[in-house]
Structure 1
Amino acid sequence: MTTMQRPRAAIYARISRDIAGQGLGTERQVAECQALADRNGLEVVRVYVDNDISAFGGRPRPEFERMQADIRTGTVQTVVCWDTSRLLRKTRELEDFIDLCQPRNVDTLQVNGLRVDLSSSHSRAIAKQGMVYHQMESELKSERIKAQKRQAAASGKYLGGRVPYGWRKVDTITDTLGRVRGGQIVVDDPAAALIRSGTEAIVAGRSLISVTREWADAGAIGLTGNRMNTTQVRRILLRPRNAGLSMFHGQVMGNDWPAIVPLSTFRKMEAILTSPDRPRQAESKFRYLLSGVALCYCGAYMTGFGAPERRSYRCSVHQAGGRYIRGHANRAMGPLDHYVRSVTSHYLGRSDVRAQLLKDMQRLADSERPVESADIARLVSMKQDLIRRWTRGEIDDGEWEEARQEIVNQIAALEAVTKANGGNRAVFSALATEDPGAAFLSSPVEVQREILREVFRIQLRESGPYRGTFDPETVSITLKEAMDG
């Protein structure tokens, strides 16, 4: 007696979000699909489960793709799912699924509905119509989530994900997958102390590499578990959130996060670190007085290199592509440093230069706005109120966009003013002494470098071969235009 072979079936289960992380939702789907397969006399040969993966978000579904491959090879003759919305969520996916299953006579059964018939044009049209509603439902859900995130960002609320360095979550729960949920954001005191000291150090004229070293000595580590480099430290210091401002798509949206540093101090530090006068090269390479400060006659920055007894400055273009390139400046470090320090000390000690520099520093100080934080907070509050009115339908889209753009422009104008008021405390500290020249000479190299960068433009001139003696005519040292009045 010949035993008839039962049709080979595959079960597919999926859940978009598994909050508990235990796969219970997909387990229930598989159990009901197995029962349906048994009632229809099918032999389940494979079970495919995509847990915690949305079919609409664009992320790959490994198990779904594996099932499609098995359909192509004939391993699977029938697909069993709890509902077609678990299997497909886009009309484009349905078209591909029809092209895959129809030529191979692969059936699709669903627990929560009738058999999906793809054999005729009429039945395929019905299937496509149902998929249109599934896709619309997903799109509406996506729009609601995005609107909720915009509103949360406008209120300065935490949007989820990894907590930024400087804060931590409290009163939280951790699911079985190790994901943290719930709770609120508070300042993480040890990390916040480093952010405060780092911000104040930059404003005081210290270098980014010195701040990075202090963080490393204090045990600060990045996301990889290793000590942070200057790029990571710079990125952390430049976050507007440090000053209590949350950003959403590049715009200031709220200020409900607990601030770590005053907004005025943050803006001064931001102006220094983002100044076009600061070279883009890693600061760890700028250990010497004129590294990243002096310019070659080609316009590129000079960097220091060589053994202590033969140390010199050379144009950064020399290092392009790892090859030595002729036609750029190369100067002995010792004589050039000595000359620049002597000229700077003399300049700062002159009464007319000192008076002009103090006048410029005072102008910056007078133009600072101590109510800047309140101004931005007021505009952000207006923006939040505008969002609430638009959500309630009290204003239309045109009125919303016009008013929103006006507020955005006002915030941008305030930020531009505060950035221009950054100033440089290193220069002011030297000028505030009885002997600015001596104060400059006794300052650490990194502070001397900040003073040079702020006050002078130093550029080397073309010259012949080095003859063993320093020629002052080969270097130009001029006060910057802003300091010339």
Structure 2
Amino acid sequence: MTDSTPSPRKAAIYLRISQDREMDGLAIERQREQCEALATYRQWEVVQTYVDQSKSATDRTKVRPAYDRMVSDYKAGAFTAIVCYDLDRLTRQPRQLEDWIDAAELRGLALVTANGDADLSTDGGRMYARIKAAVARAEMERKGARQSAAQRQRAMQGRAPKGMRPLGYATNGDVIPDEAEAVRAIYALFTRPAHPESLRSLARALSGTQDIEGITPRPRHSHVVSKERAQRRIAEGKEPRTIEPDGPWSPSTVLGILRNPRYARMSTYTPKTAQADGGRRRSWRAQILRDDAGEPIRGQWEAIVDDETWWRAQDILDDKDRVTNTSGSTKRKHLGSGLYRCGVCGGKVTGAPRGYGCAGHITRTGPAIDDYVTRVISARLSQPDALRKRKTADDTPETAGISAAIAEQRGRILRAQRDYDDEVIEGRDLKRIREAAEARIAELETERLLQARGSTLAPILGVDDPAAAFQEATLEVRREVIDTLATVTLRPHPRGRKGFDPDSVEIQWR
């Protein structure tokens, strides 16, 4: 005589908590006890328990490893019943709920909750589950809207955002001096015209595997932050969480530092609807909050880098040629790019493949012009009164303030150019902003020259042969000397005349 007693149904228990701040597992254990008691009451055999601790089910893009493993095991036939504490512990996504309802209707899955509110084996239970999921979804969206509004309001007021602190800033927005120096060094080395450093080389220098002057190796930032959090918990009498291990810096972390508008004291807010720009641009454009005049909202914290430096970094990162540049070089290749002026409109010319150009006005061959300018400047430097043979400090508060104001105006021009490229403003707006900013820059630069010659001229000032020193100096120093001594204007090349015409290059001494 055979035993006709049916074998018990095989069941899985799923446990989840969105955020376990104490990480002591007590909340999960309370769910486990009630789910196991329900399985015993139903006379089901628990074959597997799946646990997602501190895993949200609200965001469908978030990975829940235990949940995904449970879905795979169910499809493989490992069990035919699921027990969870509450329906929203299993899922907060209506689409996922419908998958489980289909499994209950079509494949006989038994899904019950320990609080007794849901039983997908009945039509009433399935109706209740759908209603509850819709209500939970609506409440989640309302909560998200309230949180987003609060975050945006905080950003509009220029208050430091919550969350993980960036390198260089404390959680309250105060500057951490040694970290801020590291941030400044990263920007300076990445944006310097002569031999700029790459993301990879900067990451190696921070990790201590490559020597770069100006960069001091330091622990990975995420490791430092996790240690700080552990220390705070100990001070509060709580058990510390696991400290993230130290390791090498990654280029992506350096990229994140260079992309962060907060370092230039720009308040940021990232809406959930913001889409990444693609490529290396990420979503930094959508992060910068602006006032009614289109100017960035300034944060209530100290800037670590100036506007111009931050926008220069964005120019380099957004340069499409840089992506395919196998040599890794992003340095400026033209002596007069952004320095010489157009003889038609007065604007600054840009570097072209063979020289200089101003759209619709002039196109000039570069080497002959640069040679001529170099010879004229060298001759001027040979004269005793060209530059005083003494160094004048430029680190006074007055000069520093002037430099900051110039950088802000240059950053304004760069922002306007970006807005024009993105079709946020029209050409006439770009022209108006550029002309106003350049006029102010000219005033400030004159004032700065009266204050000091600048430390970048140190290789030229005080030497016996300034002309020779100028010819052997770096591109940046030569540009600074030219900008200090003269204004170079390029006229259209005379038609019908072959060869270089010195009269087409006007040099006005300051």
Does the pair score TM above 0.5? yes
In structure 2, how many angstroms separate the alpha carbons of the residues matched to 1:110 and 1:416?
A: 68
1:35-434 equivalent positions in 2, closer than 5 A: 35-58=37-60, 59-120=62-123, 123-169=125-171, 184-195=172-183, 208-209=196-197, 213-216=212-215, 218-219=216-217, 226=248, 236=257, 239-248=260-269, 249-251=287-289, 252-260=296-304, 266-270=306-310, 281=322, 285=329, 291=333, 293=335, 299-300=352-353, 341-346=374-379, 429=454
Give yes or no for contact 1:71–1:101 (8 Å, CA) kept in 2: no
Percent of aligned pairs sharing the same letter: 25
Within the candidate set 428, 438, 441, 2:467 is matched to 438
**Where does structure 2 lack aligned partners over 5 or more consecutive residues?**
203-211, 222-245, 270-286, 290-295, 338-350, 356-364, 388-400, 413-423
State the partner residue of 2:241.
none
TM-aligned CA deviation for residue 474 of structure 1: 8.1
In structure 1, how many angstroms separate the alpha carbons of the residues matched to 2:472 and 2:70?
A: 70
In structure 2, how many angstroms separate the alpha carbons of the residues matched to 1:227 and 1:338?
A: 43
Q: 1:93–1:52: structure 2 CA closer, same or farther, 3 Å change rule? A: same
TM-aligned CA deviation for residue 25 of structure 1: 1.9
Give yes or no for contact 2:16–2:53 (8 Å, CA) kept in 1: yes
Bigger mean CA offset, 421-430 vs 81-90: 421-430
State the partner residue of 1:26.
28
TM-score by length of 1: 0.57
Aligned alpha-carbon RMSD (Å): 5.6
Q: Which amino acid in 1 is paired with 2:470?
A: L
Give yes or no for contact 1:245–1:257 (8 Å, CA) kept in 2: no
TM-score by length of 2: 0.55
TM-aligned CA deviation for residue 190 of structure 1: 1.5
State the partner residue of 2:12.
10
1:10 is paired with a residue whose SS is: strand
Alpha-carbon displacement from aligned partner over 1:98-134 (angstroms, at most 9, x marks no partner): 12222111111111124413444x5533331222112
Give yes or no for contact 2:160–2:300 (8 Å, CA) kept in 1: no
Give yes or no for contact 2:193–2:476 (8 Å, CA) kept in 1: yes
Bigger mean CA offset, 54-63 vs 428-437: 428-437
TM-aligned CA deviation for residue 284 of structure 1: 6.7
TM-aligned CA deviation for residue 80 of structure 1: 0.6
Alpha-carbon displacement from aligned partner over 1:405-439 (angstroms, at most 9, x marks no partner): 9xxxx9xx999966885677899656998999739
TM-aligned CA deviation for residue 14 of structure 1: 1.0
In structure 1, how many angstroms separate the alpha carbons of the residues matched to 2:441 and 2:488?
A: 17
1:46 is paired with a residue whose SS is: strand
Q: 1:75–1:234: structure 2 CA closer, same or farther, 3 Å change rule? A: closer
Q: Which amino acid in 2 is paired with 1:72?
A: K
Alpha-carbon displacement from aligned partner over 1:136-164 (angstroms, at most 9, x marks no partner): 12212222222232233234444344422
TM-aligned CA deviation for residue 241 of structure 1: 2.7
Give yes or no for contact 2:84–2:113 (8 Å, CA) kept in 1: yes
Q: 1:207–1:131: structure 2 CA closer, same or farther, 3 Å change rule? A: same
2:174 is paired with a residue whose SS is: strand
Alpha-carbon displacement from aligned partner over 1:223-278 (angstroms, at most 9, x marks no partner): 6955798x9878746754334332222214452224446xxxx13445665679x9
Alpha-carbon displacement from aligned partner over 1:356-410 (angstroms, at most 9, x marks no partner): xxxxxxxxx999969x89xx9xxxxxxxxxxxxxxxxxxxxxxxxxxxx9xxxx9
In structure 1, how many angstroms separate the alpha carbons of the residues matched to 2:57 and 2:471?
A: 65
1:150 is paired with a residue whose SS is: helix
1:166 is paired with a residue whose SS is: coil
Q: 1:5–1:452: structure 2 CA closer, same or farther, 3 Å change rule? A: farther
Q: 1:152–1:42: structure 2 CA closer, same or farther, 3 Å change rule? A: same
1:47 is paired with a residue whose SS is: strand
Alpha-carbon displacement from aligned partner over 1:169-201 (angstroms, at most 9, x marks no partner): 5xxxxxxxxxxxxxx443221232355577789
Q: 1:9–1:480: structure 2 CA closer, same or farther, 3 Å change rule? A: farther
Give yes or no for contact 1:90–1:131 (8 Å, CA) kept in 2: yes
Q: 1:415–1:18: structure 2 CA closer, same or farther, 3 Å change rule? A: farther
Q: Which amino acid in 2 is paired with 1:135?
A: R
In structure 2, how many angstroms separate the alpha carbons of the residues matched to 1:76 and 1:50?
A: 19
In structure 2, how many angstroms separate the alpha carbons of the residues matched to 1:447 and 1:63?
A: 57
TM-aligned CA deviation for residue 449 of structure 1: 5.1
Give yes or no for contact 1:267–1:419 (8 Å, CA) kept in 2: no
More helix by share: 1
Give yes or no for contact 1:219–1:227 (8 Å, CA) kept in 2: no
In structure 2, how many angstroms separate the alpha carbons of the residues matched to 1:476 and 1:273?
A: 36
Q: When the two structures are aligned, how many residues end up with a matched partner?
A: 370
> Which structure ranks higher in relative contact order (CA pairs < 8 Å, sequence separation ≥ 6)?
1
State the partner residue of 2:238.
none
Q: 1:190–1:416: structure 2 CA closer, same or farther, 3 Å change rule? A: farther
Q: 1:38–1:255: structure 2 CA closer, same or farther, 3 Å change rule? A: same
1:167 is paired with a residue whose SS is: coil
Q: 1:236–1:11: structure 2 CA closer, same or farther, 3 Å change rule? A: closer
Give yes or no for contact 2:87–2:118 (8 Å, CA) kept in 1: no
Give yes or no for contact 1:268–1:419 (8 Å, CA) kept in 2: no
TM-aligned CA deviation for residue 33 of structure 1: 0.2
